[in-house]
Every structure is written in structure tokens, then in C-alpha cells.
Amino acid sequence: MKPAMETAAEENTEQSQERKGCFECCIKCLGGVPYASLVATILCFSGVALFCGCGHVALAGTVAILEQHFSTNASDHALLSEVIQLMQYVIYGIASFFFLYGIILLA
């Protein structure tokens, strides 16, 4: 059996929690969030997305420029097109690596 003082203190704590309401409990929980880490993670993901998007568009534009201005037939730039496509896949691999790396750093 618990002493009367401990029981009264527990009841007072429970009553004060009920009086605080949801807002104050949420504020208390949000006080422990590592905002700097969240901002850094968001910036990391944004940078990776920007890198992948810009790299993909630049490589696709390179293929278009090659086809329009420098080749007379498709076999002239076939190998270069394959290399450019391979570079696009490398960009996707780098993106997935940095996505996982960002999650690890956040954890």
C-alpha cells in the first residue's frame, strides 16, 4: 500500500495534466525536437534532389544537342548516348545513397 502523501501527489499530478490540455502537452513534446537536425536533413534532401534533377536535365539536353547539331546518323552517337544514359543511372545511385545517408545522420 502506498503512503497517503505519494497518492495525493500522484492525484495532483494527474489533475494538473488534465487541466493543461492538449496544447501544453504538445508544446512540451515539441520542445524536445532537434530542429537544427531537421533543417539540416531537409537541406540535404533538397540538395540531392536539385543535383539529380539538374544532372538529369543537363544530360538529356546533351543528347538532344548531339542529335540536332553534331550527328548525321544515329550510329554516330550511339556509344555516347549509352554512356550518357549510364551517367544518369549513376546519378540515381548517388541520390539513393545520399537519401539513406541523410536518414542515418538524422537518426
Domain boundaries, given as residue ranges, for the chain = 36-106
Q: pLDDT tens digits, residue range 22-43? A: 777 777 777 777 888 888 889 9
Q: pLDDT tens digits, residue range 41-79? A: 899 889 988 988 999 899 889 888 888 887 777 777 778
Closest by CA position to 57, among listed 46, 47, 65, 68:
65
What count of Cα atoms within 13 Å lies in the side-chain half-sphere of residue 68? 6
- CB distance 56 to 46 below 8 Å: no
- Which pTM does this prediction carry? 0.61
User: Which DSSP string corresponds to 26-39?
Assistant: HHHHHTTS-HHHHH
Q: Which three cell numbers stand for residue 23?
A: 496544447
> What is the average pLDDT across 81-91?
89
